[in-house]
Chain A
Amino acid sequence: MLTRRIIVCLDVAVGRVVKGTKFEQLRDVGDPAELAVRYERDSADEVVLLDVSAYAEGRRTMLDVVRRTADKLSVPLTVGGRIRTIADVRQLLRSGADKVSINSAAVADPFLISRAADQFGSQCVVVSIDARRHTESWRAYTHGGSRITGLDVVDWARECVARGAGELLVTSVDCDGMREGYDLELLRSVRAVSRVPVIASGGAGTAAHVVAAFVDGMADAALIAGIVHDGITTIAALKADVAAAGIPVRLETAA
């Protein structure tokens, strides 16, 4: 039986994992490769490295981080942030990323999704959608949730899938960091138009929130960050609770 995934996201700035509001008051919390491996042992199903470097100099450093992390990691690695071109995608995959996550560049040029899917296969193209609620619907945002676009999230999700996205990473900017639960209505609305897996993101505070994302939000995977980085819980503990709710998850055997 296909299990539901719990994916851990690490924000990386110029080679180090950081915490804090994006671009502001970043605090160094460790080495990406070391933390990724620690989360693999804690039964993370996948790891996402998100490049939040404020300057372009982060790019070359990021390739090195991807290589070092891929060297040690035995679960899938997704890399996002600052991906603008097909050459960027190729470089990241050749450095050891299994998938890339594209956001702002896909909005600026939706053909980037089609070209990446054609060349590298849909299974390595994740389109990341940052959504903010606007009364009865959601609007897509770019640049870390700071810039509004003219795109309705559900319409945009449909287009991403039609263009060959292999997964949709759907983040509620409203819920992000609040730890009060995922935006379930947003997840259901995207799920209704998407044949590809949907990853819930933004708002995880407890195992009950993750369960709700799977059951009520119909998500295939749930992204978590702060609650494990801050030591509030572990992935293994989250998974035990999710399994107890009757949802199939992978429990990593000891090495």
Chain B
Amino acid sequence: MIATVLDFGVGNVHSLTRGLLSLGLSIEVTDNPREALASELLVLPGVGAFSAAARQLAPVREELRAALADGLPCLAICLGMQLLFHGSEEGQGKGIGLIGGCSTRLTGDRVPHMGWNTVATASPLLSDSQPMYFAHSYACRPNDPSAVGGWTDCDGDRFPALVQTARTTGVQFHPEKSGEAGRAFLRTWIKEVERCA
């Protein structure tokens, strides 16, 4: 399969593309959201600022939401996951709106939430006991928790670490930075995508 990584132009997408290559995927990196629409498998990476990324997605927002709702397989990481929702306190602009709700600033004692934290989950994609790497100041607040497949707690602020709807998987942690646990997540995720293809 060919995974299309939509590059928001500012951060490190190097580690992510390398992680995907190791799964046997072919990779295309593009800053053109039109190409995202035409992809076989879409990856929204986890680095950048909300408003700039929302601006980049704006011309195709409605079509992208329809494509994802219709079953385009997608992995959305960190900021990418937040873009699945309607908006964010972090900045102006609209998200894709695939999942109802917005991102707001973390309320814990220590922000950014930075480091390795566990996910309370029953999902086959993740293990309860193995910490994943997080680096973020905002978190998704879904209107309806039914899409949430795993929760993480930061100083008493509980937020979704994993959401799944249609064939889209959103994660607040960085699997490409989470060592062996992250590789295991990506391997299980790609098997699930291939099984449903």
A contacts, CB < 8 Å to B: 1-5, 40, 45, 67, 70-71, 73-77, 90, 93-98, 118-124, 166-167, 195-197, 220-221, 250, 252-255
B100 on interface, CB distance cutoff 8 Å: no
Q: Which residues of B contact A220 (CB under 8 A)?
A: 110, 114-115
B contacts, CB < 8 Å to A: 10-12, 14-15, 18-19, 47-49, 109-118, 130-131, 133, 135-137, 153-155, 174, 176-183
Assess A253 versus B180: contact at CB under 8 Å? Given A2-B154, A76-B133. yes
Q: List 26 A-B contacts (CB under 8 A).
A: A2-B154, A2-B155, A5-B116, A40-B179, A45-B116, A70-B15, A70-B18, A74-B178, A74-B183, A76-B174, A93-B11, A97-B12, A98-B15, A119-B49, A123-B114, A123-B135, A123-B137, A166-B137, A196-B110, A196-B112, A196-B114, A197-B115, A220-B110, A253-B130, A253-B181, A254-B180
- Contact across chains for A93 and B12 when beta carbons are under 8 A apart: yes
Q: Which residues of A contact B110 (CB under 8 A)?
A: 195-197, 220
The residue in chain B whose Cβ has the minimal distance to the Cβ of A167 is B114
- Contact across chains for B14 and A67 when beta carbons are under 8 A apart: yes
Complex Cα–Cα for A95 and B177 (A): 15
- Contact across chains for B109 and A195 when beta carbons are under 8 A apart: yes
Q: Nearest Cβ distance between residue A96 and chain B, in whole angstroms?
A: 4
- Contact across chains for B154 and A124 when beta carbons are under 8 A apart: no
Interface centre among B14, B48, B117 (most CB of A within 10 A): B14
Interface centre among B48, B114, B183 (most CB of A within 10 A): B114
Q: Nearest Cβ distance between residue A83 and chain B, in whole angstroms?
A: 15
The residue in chain A whose Cβ has the minimal distance to the Cβ of B134 is A2
Q: Which residues of B contact A1 (CB under 8 A)?
A: 117-118, 153
Assess A121 versus B49: contact at CB under 8 Å? Given A40-B179, A74-B19, A94-B12. yes
- Contact across chains for A93 and B176 when beta carbons are under 8 A apart: no
- Contact across chains for B14 and A94 when beta carbons are under 8 A apart: yes
Complex Cα–Cα for A2 and B115 (A): 7
Q: Which of B18, B47, B136, B177 contacts A71 (CB 8 A)?
A: B18
Q: Nearest Cβ distance between residue B1 and chain A, in whole angstroms?
A: 21
- Contact across chains for A5 and B115 when beta carbons are under 8 A apart: yes
Complex Cα–Cα for A90 and B14 (A): 13
- Contact across chains for B131 and A250 when beta carbons are under 8 A apart: yes
Assess A90 versus B116: contact at CB under 8 Å? Given A3-B131, A255-B180. no
